[in-house]
Amino acid sequence: MSCYKLCELQCCVRTTEHINNIACSYCYILNCQICIEGNIASGKTTCLEYFSKTSNIEVLTEPVSKWRNVRGHNPLGLMYQDPTRWGITLQTYIQLTMLDQHLSTISAPMRMMERSIYSAKYIFVENLYRSGKMPDVDFAVLSEWFEWITQNIAIPVDLIVYLQSSPQTCHERLKERCREEEKIIPLEYLEAIHQLYEDWLIKKTSFNVPAPVLVISADDDLQKMILQYEENREKILSGTNV
């Protein structure tokens, strides 16, 4: 369905632009794609659950169940047990599933998606490589795939919402969540992921940032987080950081 049709159907708008078959400013808003980024257990899924109650928003959480079970195999668990052997296996599959999510047909005027193909590469692959746990050849092959994909396929992202949390908070929440595969994650792992996120989205010194960034501090309790989401609702839903 074209954005014009979507706009007309959802909002009964028939602007001059539509009559002339070009996208009006409303159409652009109606095709907004927002990625929620942040460390492990920073509260991304909880944030998405909150916004899923808003009408006209499609929410896509990370397909973690697929990463834990692909045809009876658990690449997420294997990676945590032996990152050097299984890092490429997990990250190749994550790259595929994230691409699939980015390209899937949008079923609402606005989409909020957990992480992105960009953080899979710039944060998690990079961390495996920098920590010496991904062999050069695996990193080279994954990088070739990533570059081919991003140079040949349009992956629209309008806004990145960065849930900025301290690694200590994430470590506490991770222990509470108690996902079997993640029980062995030490604080140092979360510190490394945090640093990569900060370099990418705050300092902007490491990799290309594909969209404007809205930073929300995520160390607060759930009630305060909801207040922050409400304070930022308009910015988030209009797909801007100003």
Ligand X SMILES: O=c1ccn([C@H]2C[C@H](O)[C@@H](COP(=O)(O)O)O2)c(=O)[nH]1
Ligand Y SMILES: Nc1ncnc2c1ncn2[C@@H]1O[C@H](COP(=O)(O)OP(=O)(O)O)[C@@H](O)[C@H]1O
* Residues 95-134 interacting with ligand X (rule: CB under 6 A): 120, 124
Q: Chain-centre distance of CA 208, in angstroms? A: 15
- Least separation in angstroms between residue 32's CB and ligand X is 22
**Range in contact with ligand X (rule: CB under 6 A) among 10-18, 40-48, 132-140, 200-208:** 40-48
**Range in contact with ligand X (rule: CB under 6 A) among 2-10, 89-97, 156-164, 196-204:** 89-97
- Which residue number, 204 or 224, has a Cβ lying nearer to ligand Y? 224
Cα–Cα distance for residue pair 98/232, rounded to 1 Å:
26
Query: What residues form DSSP beta bridges with 33?
Result: 111
Residues whose CB falls within 8 Å of the CB of residue 242, separated by 6 or more in sequence, listed in order: 212, 235
**Range in contact with ligand X (rule: CB under 6 A) among 86-94, 132-140, 145-153, 200-208:** 86-94
Q: Which helix (H) or strand (E) holds 68?
A: helix 64-68
Residues whose CB falls within 8 Å of the CB of residue 26, separated by 6 or more in sequence, listed in order: 7, 11, 13, 15
* Residues 34-93 interacting with ligand Y (rule: CB under 6 A): 38, 40-46
Query: What residues form DSSP beta bridges with 213?
Result: 160
- Which residue number, 221 or 234, has a Cβ lying nearer to ligand Y? 221
Catalytic site includes residue 172: no
Q: Is 112 helix (H, G, I), strand (E, B) or coil?
A: strand
Cα–Cα distance for residue pair 52/112, rounded to 1 Å:
9
**Residues 170-209, mask of contacts with ligand X (x by CB under 6 A):** ------------x---------------------------
State yes or no: 177 annotated in a binding site: yes
Q: Is 183 in the site for ligand Y (CB under 6 A)?
A: no
